[in-house]
Amino acid sequence: MTRTFDDKPAVREKTPLLIGLVSPSGAGKTYSALRLATGIQRVAGGDIGVIDTEARRALHYAHKFKFRHMAFGAPFGPLDYLAAIEHFINKGVTTIVVDSTSHEHEGPGGVLEMHEKELDRMAGQDFKKRDRMNMLAWAKPKAQRRKLINAILQMNANFIFCFRAKEKIKMQPGKEPIALGFQAISGDEWIYEMQLKCLLLPGSDGVPTWQSEMPGEKLTIKLPEQFRDMFANREQLSEDIGEKLAHWAAGGVAPAVMTADELVAAYAACSDPATLGRLESARKVAWSALDKDGKARVKTASDDSKERIARAERSFDDVAAEAPDEDNDNAEDRGAA
């Protein structure tokens, strides 16, 4: 039977985001992930869900960000991660932070431990047999990881995966070991699936490193052409960057940057809270491009717009409070009759 195919002109389509944040402890993974997720939410809507394997560490930031929290403990097998993710998907969560994904690799019940248990089952303590069975023992844990990743790729949600990192070396027979730099504690399969992978080095305070001479770090960093303009300035991962990434994922590009005159005119015409919210996002995108005078004019227009809408809402509330209660009036009329 001859197969038939169809084709059509290529157009950008909506696609979920798969973002990886790689860093050792203290470099800002969790905080940066929540900032990015909040920016993505501005475009994607819905709730943010955090799968927290790090002893409830994400709750340290519950006063700064709004999100649903899941305390996720061992076992950390791939199918356990899948069940946790599906829990949020079934609740309609649209942006999921997994902090940390490294437990799937080296945590209790994770892939490394699964491999060791398979070796015990296949070869016991016969070390020669264990050597022979080593590759075969990877079949089950790797298959479960592949099932997890394949399921994620089919989900209509945005993901930010946090990975712990450690410095690694490559041993050479008869030579000095080669320093590879910081690499993610994870399987290679995760690296290839990420659309964007940010390396946060110690002391970076959430500012990604995009260039490194360390061979391992070169493999860890992933900044495709479509995202390079978003990271042209060396700055912290932020809500605004998350918003730009979400616009790209929605099938477009980051919104056009408005001029000071355009922003002032838009604020002058603004008459409702929803429009005000969209304008505030536009102002954040444009802010770094405005000069001192432009910033002052836009801030004044923004403050005036907020006060104007607040006065209108207060006036509406006052009128509603003074309006007669028809049910009570009718009751009084019926009593008088």
Residue of 210, 190, 188 whose CA lies nearest to 199? 210
Q: Is residue 329 part of a domain?
A: no
Same domain, 245 and 96: yes
Domain boundary among 204, 226, 249: 249
Domain boundary among 249, 269, 294: 249
Q: For residue 139, give every residue at least 6 positions away whose Cβ sits within 8 Å of its Cβ, in sequence order, or none.
A: 118
- What CA–CA distance (Å, rounded) separates 272 from 202? 44
pLDDT value at residue 322: 57
Say yes or no: 277 and 236 in one domain.
no
Q: Say yes or no: 241 and 274 in one domain.
A: no
pLDDT (0 to 100) of residue 336: 39
Identify whether 12 is part of a domain.
Answer: no
Quick check: helix, strand or coil at residue 128? Answer: helix
Answer yes or no: do 267 and 303 share one domain.
Answer: yes
Q: What is the pLDDT of residue 334?
A: 39
Q: Picking from 102-116, 146-160, 253-267, which range would have the lowest pLDDT averaged per residue?
A: 253-267
Residue 255 lies in a domain: no
Residue 121 has pLDDT above 90, yes or no: yes
pLDDT (tens digit per residue) in 256-274: 678 899 899 989 988 878 7
Considering the domain architecture, whether residues 238 and 301 belong to the same structural domain is answered as no
pLDDT at 319 over 60: no
Domain containing 293 equals 260-322
Interhelix angle for 273-286 vs 292-322, to 10°? 170
Tokens coding 83: 């069940």
Looking at the structure, tell me whether residues 95 and 75 fall in a common domain.
yes
Pairwise CA distance, residues 292 & 295, whole Å: 5
Mean pLDDT of the chain: 89
Cβ neighbors of 296 (< 8 A, separation 6 or more) are: none
| Single-letter residue type at 180 | L
In a domain, 305, yes or no: yes
Long-range CB pairs of 210-217, under 8 A, 24+ apart, other chains included: 212/181, 214/179, 214/180, 214/181, 214/182, 215/178, 215/180, 215/181, 216/168, 216/180, 216/181, 216/182, 216/183, 217/180, 217/181, 217/182, 217/183
- In this structure, the answer to whether residues 200 and 293 fall within a common structural domain is no
**pLDDT > 90 in the chain, percent:** 72
Q: Which residues pair with 96 in a beta bridge?
A: 49, 159
Answer yes or no: is 13 within a domain. no
Question: Is 297 found in the same domain as 237?
Answer: no
Task: Report the distance separating Cα 36 and Cα 13, nearest Å.
Answer: 21
What total number of domains does the chain contain?
2
Q: Does residue 162 sit in the same domain as residue 218?
A: yes
* Helix ranges, the chain (H): 29-44, 78-90, 103-106, 111-123, 127-133, 139-153, 188-193, 215-220, 239-249, 260-269, 273-286, 292-322, 326-336
* 213 and 313 share one domain: no
pLDDT at residue 318 in the model: 62
pLDDT digits (tens, 9 = 90+) for 19-77: 999 999 888 999 999 999 999 999 899 999 999 999 999 999 999 999 999 999 999 99
Q: Tell me whether residue 289 is in a domain.
A: yes
pLDDT at 219 over 70: yes
Q: Measured at the alpha carbon of residue 243, what is the angle toward residues 155 and 198, in degrees to the nearest 5? A: 75
The CATH code of the domain that includes 165 is: 3.40.50
pTM: 0.74
Peptide bond into 100 cis (omega under 30): yes
Residue 307 belongs to a domain: yes
Report the largest interatomic distance among the alpha carbons of the chain, rounded to a whole angstrom.
Answer: 108
| 211 plus 308 within the same structural domain | no
Write the CB contacts of 104 (distance below 8 Å, at least 6 apart in sequence).
76, 77, 78, 81, 110, 111, 145, 148, 186
Contacts of 220 (CB under 8 A, 6+ apart): 22, 165, 181, 182, 183, 184, 191, 197, 199
Least confident of 132-136, 192-196, 267-271, 325-329: 325-329
User: How far is it, in rounded angstroms, from Cα 137 to Cα 250?
Assistant: 41
Q: Kindly indicate the confidence band of residue 330, based on its pLDDT and cuts at 50, 70 and 90.
A: very low
Q: What percent of the chain has pLDDT above 70?
A: 92
DSSP 8-state symbol, 3: -
At 180 the three-state DSSP class reads strand
Structural domain contains residue 8: no
Residue pair 28/99 in contact by the 8 Å Cβ criterion: no
Distance CA 64, CA 74 (A): 28
Question: What's the pLDDT score for residue 12?
Answer: 79
CB atoms within 10 A of CB 177: 10
pLDDT tens digits along 222-246: 999 999 989 988 899 999 999 999 9
pLDDT score, position 1 = 84
Using the predicted structure, report yes or no on whether residue 333 has a pLDDT greater than 70: no
Q: How far apart are CA 186 and CA 140, in angstroms?
A: 17
Query: Given 225, 249, 273, which residue is the final one in a domain?
Result: 249
Q: Which two tokens stand for residue 222?
A: 């992933």
| Same domain, yes or no: 197 and 264 | no
